[in-house]
Amino acid sequence: MTADGCAQPLWRHPVLRAVAGQTLRPGGLDFTDQAVHLAHIPGDSRVLDLGCGTGATVEHLRSHHALAAVGVDLAIPQGAKKGLPFAQADAQSLPFRDASLGAVICECVLSLLPDQRAALHECRRVLMPGGRLILADLYHRSISTTACTATTTAHSAAKSCVTHALNIDTLRRDLADAGMRVVLLEDHTRLLAELAARMILVGASDILPECPSKRPGYLLLIAVTDGIPTEAHHDDG
């Protein structure tokens, strides 16, 4: 047990896998499809799934979107299909050259990182000009920045995206500091509620950690690195 009574991180709980599938996040791969479509990622782009877990998204991006997807995770991916390109690395020290990726996908991962600002700067480093950063994560819908920081610190032992939900104002500032411009920000809290509802239906609501904000939301954010107009697409030449 951790200090606040959370037996293990939510994403490691077998029940979450049972109700959320291999992706372990609201919306699953359908939501990833939607995000990739909205981001206008050119085919054949080299795309990083940051915090790839078992690699289900990497495999999906390669098979359904013809993207040259690769995965990075702090832990060695378990149960992943052989032959998929994975690397074990820290989000703050990615094993890619500067400006070498067309997109970085980061779903339910940023909120778990100890230094989100550093991770965003690292994403910016590996993205080519006009590259896309796709973020899907939990965020606080109704809490002041001060209260958010205080309560999140108090729950730091839980290591869950629920207890570490993002603060929108901080996220916007960190993205701007890293040299990325927000081109899309959407609320998809319905997906979070549906996942929580499935947990209730299977009788596992007791493993859901308490969120400091009381009103957690789920967002989709797409940012583009400075350098080319928002709607522009990459040219192969």
Partner 1 sequence: MSTLKVLSEDFSNWTCEACGETLVPRPVTLDYLESRFRVELPACPRCGLVLVPESLALGKMAEVERLLEDK
The least distance separating partner 1 from the CB of residue 31, rounded to whole angstroms, comes to: 12
At CA 15, angle to CA 12 and CA 20, rounded to 5? Answer: 85
Look-up of token digits 């040299």: 179
The least distance separating partner 1 from the CB of residue 75, rounded to whole angstroms, comes to: 25
* Cβ nearer to partner 1, comparing 19 with 175: 19
* Cβ nearer to partner 1, comparing 175 with 195: 195
CB 149 within 8 A of CB 188: no
The least distance separating partner 1 from the CB of residue 222, rounded to whole angstroms, comes to: 23
Q: Could you tell me which residues come within 8 angstroms of residue 77 by beta carbon, excluding any fewer than 6 positions away?
A: 52, 53, 54, 55, 71, 86
* Cβ nearer to partner 1, comparing 117 with 198: 198
* Cβ nearer to partner 1, comparing 153 with 205: 205
The least distance separating partner 1 from the CB of residue 217, rounded to whole angstroms, comes to: 9
Residue numbers at the binding site for partner 1 (CB under 8 A): 18-19, 21, 28, 189-190, 193-194, 196-198, 200-203, 205
CB 72 within 8 A of CB 89: yes
Structure tokens at 75: 């832990």
* Cβ nearer to partner 1, comparing 21 with 114: 21
* Cβ nearer to partner 1, comparing 203 with 237: 203
Q: How many C-beta neighbours within 10 Å does residue 197 have?
A: 11
The least distance separating partner 1 from the CB of residue 86, rounded to whole angstroms, comes to: 25
Q: How far apart are CA 64 and CA 29, in angstroms?
A: 10
Structure tokens at 87: 């690397």
The least distance separating partner 1 from the CB of residue 196, rounded to whole angstroms, comes to: 6
